[in-house]
Amino acid sequence: MPWTIAVGGKGGVGKTTISGLIIRYLLDVGKTPILAVDADANSNLNEILGVAIDKTIGSLREEVLNEIKNLPLGVFKENYLEYKIQEALVEEKGYDLLVMGRTEGPKCYCYANTILRKYMDVIASNYNYIVMDNAAGLEHLSRGTTRDVDVLFIVSDPTIRGVRTAGRIKTLIQELKLSIEKVYLLINRVKNGLDEGLLNEIKNQEIELAGTIPEDSQVLDEDVRCSPIFALPKENKVVVAVGEILKKTMEKFRC
């Protein structure tokens, strides 16, 4: 069973940047093979990783619906679906990337979604680690795209409102009884430490803080240039902070 890390939180808080840095950390310490999943319909994890994508799971659904009825004799449905999902995998050194793409459409894709999900689970078992970058908002959580997660990092900006939103996500997870072993809060873009008001709000929301990540102009500058996360030097304070948080978390989980 792969060890699965998911990253969530409201819009623009740094989910994709942090997902990319988590992947970079796992690669650096040789925790491979990794499956990177971009579960955001408005995907850009590939840009952060510096890889081009051709197909997404979303774009395959239409093909699957059309082709599965007319498979040539002797081609098993299982083999066909595995082949299809392999087609959407981008293979890189140490990790593969799978992009979910759009989940909605004019037709009912329930059948295609169900079978694709089943074969994604089969494929996921080939990896030791899964890192999932999720869309902002809460609605996809109820659609069951964040399943069997070991650690979910809810990212927030260093504001009371941000922490409250993180608290709401945690409550929703409990209400939906999603299979998530541990939920942590990550405060990103911290400038001068956390003030007392914020620390009190974190206590009120009852989410364990995994750590803080500093604001850093180099991260933003590289993003403006659309450079991949690997372009940041290893001494960069955001790279270091994410690495330390991951190390501590993985030691706790002994993985």
Ligand X SMILES: Nc1ncnc2c1ncn2[C@@H]1O[C@H](COP(=O)(O)OP(=O)(O)OP(=O)(O)O)[C@@H](O)[C@H]1O
Q: Which residues bind ligand X (CB under 6 A)?
A: 11-17, 40, 136, 188-189, 213, 215-216, 219-220, 223, 238
Q: Which does 219 bind (CB under 5 to 8 A by kind): Mg ion, ligand X, none?
A: ligand X
Alpha helices in 29-183 (DSSP H): 45-49, 57-67, 77-88, 110-124, 139-142, 160-175
Q: Please state the closest distance from residue 218 (CB atom) to ligand X, in A.
A: 8
Q: Which is nearer to Mg ion, 15 or 189 (CB)?
A: 15
Q: Which does 150 bind (CB under 5 to 8 A by kind): Mg ion, ligand X, none?
A: none
> 């072993």: which residue's tokens?
181
**CA–CA distances in Å: residue 145 to residues 118, 135, 138, 175, 196:** 12, 10, 11, 16, 35
Size of the site for Mg ion (CB under 5 A): 2
Contact 120, 77 (CB under 8 A): no
Q: Please state the closest distance from residue 31 (CB atom) to ligand X, in A.
A: 22
> 């009371």: which residue's tokens?
160
The residue among 175, 115, 132, 179 whose CA lies nearest residue 167 is 175
Q: Which is nearer to ligand X, 82 or 215 (CB)?
A: 215
Contact 131, 22 (CB under 8 A): yes
Q: According to the binding rule CB under 5 A, does residue 16 interact with Mg ion?
A: yes
Q: Please state the closest distance from residue 45 (CB atom) to ligand X, in A.
A: 8
Q: Which does 14 bind (CB under 5 to 8 A by kind): Mg ion, ligand X, none?
A: ligand X
List interacting residues with Mg ion (CB under 5 A).
15-16
